[in-house]
Amino acid sequence: MRATLLILLLLASGLAHAVEIIAHRGVPEQALTLASARAMFGMRLTQWSDGQAVRVFVLPDRHPTHVAFVKTRLDLYPYQLRQNWDRLVFSGMAQAPIEVADEREMLRRVAATPGAIGYVRKAGSHDQVKSLAIQ
Amino acid sequence: MIRSSLSRSSDRPGRGGGVRGSGRRCARLAAWLGASLLSVAAGAQELGAGVQLHGFASQGAVWTSDHRVGGAKDGSVGLDLRELGANLSWRPDPDWLLSGQVLARWAGDTDDGEPRVDYAYIDRSWRLHEASRVGIRLGKIKNPYGFFNVTRDVAHTRPGVIMPQSIYLDQIRNFVLAAPGIALHGDSDMSFGSLSWQLGALRPQVDDADMEYMFLLGDMPGRFQGTNSWMGQVLVEPDGGRWRLGLSVGELNMRYRAGSPDPLRPGRHTLPTWALSVEHNDEHWSVTGEYAQTTNQARGYGPIMDPNPDNTLEAWYVQATRRFGQDWRAYARYDVLYLDRKDRDGARFAVLTGRPGHTRYARDWVLGMRRDIDRFALWLEYHHVDGTAWLAGIDNPDPQRRKRAWDMVLLQAAWYF
């Protein structure tokens, strides 16, 4: 019984960390609070602590990695994020995140764009991006 | 009923045109669609250098058992429900945002597709500390009112095919939608959730074809003009928006410039309003409720209008939405409007004016479903309405010919990028 619980817990934590938040190596932050991560992906927080512009990259709404990221790392549902973006974009209050087709493009764009933030299933150590923890 | 064919013809070309002039409209529509499609084909959401382009298009079909809605007459199908829009935004720097949107909208005789600037403003913001920002917006700004006012013309963002008419009355949509002015705004991210607010000073636009039907009981020879007004909203979203709570408050003002001859004297309207909004979001369910009151104070119009005491409009709705996977959703809504909360069934109004009491209320049962296919979506929506308060006066000018209980079916297809 205890062993089953342990395995379940390990599985759950494994799932929770399956998607990693990545950023351009030039951003000063090492970690984000959940509130800041939600504000950045919610397109409300537009600059890093050193003043450089945040550039948000996302996968398509139905991409499994996007769904997992929104649910496990932001603790939101994808439809909430979409509603929020549409409300801001079509009232002129903010811009939309930049959508990329797949995780390979995500890694490439985040590595190449100063101020970029995004997410992937697992960023290998060879990738030219930094990984951000959520505190 | 007084109907003036001359009033305001200059500022609303094609007004009352209905199906007439459709060739010109089709040409314009084609040009718009062409431009939109071309820009998408060029892969143009992100244009580089902080510039973005977005757009939307929708086409509706409507059948009504009675009355005229969206070009449909009793028992026939109308296709005069259409929206086209595109916006550009430029963020040259994290603290600055310039944005503007052009919109064309067709809705029966009340809107004729004339392209107009939906909003256009400049936004400068300052970071107070890591989790708080304040800013100032200047230009033609969207008025935050309830959850849905700012994007009411973008089909994908609406809670159904048509907005809950109690709170988001189409008859006075432009009046409440956006206006030239200045607004302060801010938002904060806290451990319990986020808080955002906007407070604006504005002069409302009074180009709705139905304004005089709504506030003067008919199309009069003179015209309204917006005067100094204000609107504000506070939105609290605990736990990333699992709950959303909003309070919108404002006072919209306008004066009436009498025509000659005119049975009315130059008067003024003061409209204090507030709306309370609550939403709960779960993985599969969303439940939304909004309640609003708007008081209608008319002064100085002379003996015809002055005996009318102030009346308070009361509006509320509750909607439950169930999502099935990512692509299907079904919803049910009960939407209630009373033009005078002290005379809900319109009995006193009927005695005073000889017009039917049901022109003063509407209780609308709505059932609908929506299917999302990537950036396209399709809707099917059924209404059973008891009362005729929110019917467009310009489409249904004779109150005696309105039927108290009626039905409506709407179909809609929409796309956005």
pLDDT of B71 > 80? The answer is: no
Structure confidence at residue B173 as a pLDDT band (50, 70, 90)? confident
**Is A3 domain-assigned?**
no
B124-133: average pLDDT? 90
Measured in angstroms, the CA of B62 and the nearest CA of chain A are apart by: 25
Number of Cβ within 10 Å of residue A5's Cβ equals 9
CB contact B180 to A (< 8 Å): no
Query: Which pLDDT value is given to residue A127?
Result: 75
Interface contact flag, B151 A87, Cβ < 8 Å: yes
B54-67+90-97+123-416 topology per CATH: Porin (2.40.160)
DSSP-H helix ranges across B99-148: none
Structure confidence at residue B248 as a pLDDT band (50, 70, 90)? very high
Interface contact flag, B94 A79, Cβ < 8 Å: no
Interface contact flag, B54 A89, Cβ < 8 Å: yes
User: How large is the ipTM?
Assistant: 0.87
Measured in angstroms, the CA of B204 and the nearest CA of chain A are apart by: 17
Q: What is the pLDDT of residues A31-90, one digit of tens each?
A: 999 999 999 999 999 999 999 999 999 999 999 999 999 999 999 999 999 999 999 999
**Is A56 domain-assigned?**
yes
Interface contact flag, B87 A54, Cβ < 8 Å: no
For residue B292, the cross-strand partners are: B275, B315
A9-37: average pLDDT? 80
Q: What are A's interface residues with B at a Cβ cutoff of 8 A?
A: 33, 35-36, 38-39, 42, 44-47, 49, 51-54, 61-62, 74-80, 83-84, 86-87, 89-96, 98-99
pLDDT of B142 > 60? The answer is: yes
Q: CA B186 to CA B175: how far, in whole Å?
A: 24
Query: Which pLDDT value is given to residue B235?
Result: 97
* Helix and strand counts by DSSP (H, E) for chain A: 5, 6
Interface contact flag, B157 A83, Cβ < 8 Å: yes
**Is A108 domain-assigned?**
yes
Query: What distances in angstroms separate CA B128 from CA A45, B132, B133, B164, B187, one per listed residue?
Result: 12, 5, 5, 37, 10
State the amino acid at position A82 in one-letter form: R
Q: What is the pLDDT of residues B75-115, one digit of tens each?
A: 788 999 999 999 999 999 999 999 999 999 998 888 889 99
**Is A36 domain-assigned?**
yes
CB contact B127 to A (< 8 Å): yes
Interface contact flag, B189 A95, Cβ < 8 Å: no
pLDDT of B26 > 90? The answer is: no
B54-60: average pLDDT? 96
Q: CA A64 to CA A121: how far, in whole Å?
A: 10
State the amino acid at position B67 in one-letter form: H
pLDDT of B203 > 80? The answer is: yes
Query: What distances in angstroms separate CA A75 from CA A39, A54, A88, B114, B385, one per listed residue?
Result: 13, 21, 20, 43, 39
CATH number for the domain harbouring residue A35: 3.40.190.10
Q: Looking at the partner chain, which of A35, A46, A94 has a beta carbon nearest the beta carbon of B189?
A: A35
**Is A2 domain-assigned?**
no
For residue B90, the cross-strand partners are: B51, B98
Q: What percent of chain B has pLDDT over 90?
A: 66
Q: Enumerate the domain spans of chain B.
A: 54-67+90-97+123-416
C-alpha gyration radius of chain B: 21
Q: CA A134 to CA B213: how far, in whole Å?
A: 56
| Portion 86-105 of B in contact with A at CB < 8 A | 87, 89, 91, 93-95, 97, 99-101
**Is A12 domain-assigned?**
no
Interface contact flag, A92 B283, Cβ < 8 Å: no
Measured in angstroms, the CA of B188 and the nearest CA of chain A are apart by: 9
Report the range of poorest mean pLDDT among B14-18, B120-124, B262-266.
B14-18
Q: How many domains does chain A have?
A: 1
Q: Looking at the partner chain, which of B45, B87, B187 has a beta carbon nearest the beta carbon of A92?
A: B87
Interface contact flag, B240 A98, Cβ < 8 Å: no
Pairing of strands A116-120, A130-134: unpaired
Query: Which pLDDT value is given to residue B9?
Result: 32
E runs forming strands in B154-218: 178-190, 193-202
Three-state DSSP class for residue B199: strand
Give the range of the structural domain holding residue A81, as residue numbers without chain letter: 19-134
Query: Which pLDDT value is given to residue B17?
Result: 36
Query: What distances in angstroms separate CA B224 from CA A10, B117, B206, B304, one per listed residue?
Result: 67, 20, 6, 17
B7-35: average pLDDT? 46
Query: Which pLDDT value is given to residue B86?
Result: 95
